[in-house]
């Protein structure tokens, strides 16, 4: 199996105008970078409810997507 074939096994969200608009809304609403907003927007459009990140607030609900820091001891 080639590298590209492996990546085809995972959901993929293209950057669309809707993603950009959602990212801009999220970045302004939560005072986060556009790029973090774009990650959250893509997750929302793929119906993901959790993202793993050390860059956002652990446990924060970003319009239906919860940020989880995998390095925080629970």
pLDDT(1) > 80: no
Condensed to tens digits (0 to 9), the pLDDT of residues 9-54 reads 989 899 999 999 999 999 999 999 999 999 999 999 999 999 999 9
Q: Where are the domains of the chain?
A: 15-68
pLDDT, position 59? 96
pLDDT, position 7? 87
User: Which residues have CB under 8 Å from 22's CB, separation 6+?
Assistant: 37, 41, 44, 45
37 vs 73, which has greater pLDDT? 37
Please choose, from the candidates 66, 48, 73, 68, the residue with its C-alpha nearest in 3D space to the C-alpha of residue 58: 68
Cα–Cα distance between 69 and 44 in angstroms, integer? 18
């Amino acid at each position: 199996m080639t590298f590209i074939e492996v990546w085809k096994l995972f959901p993929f969200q293209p950057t669309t105008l809707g993603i950009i608009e959602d990212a801009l809304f999220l970045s302004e609403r939560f005072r986060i970078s556009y790029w973090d907003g774009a990650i959250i927007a893509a997750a929302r459009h793929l119906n993901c409810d959790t993202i793993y990140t050390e860059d956002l607030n652990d446990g924060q609900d970003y319009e239906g997507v919860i940020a989880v820091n995998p390095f925080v001891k629970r």
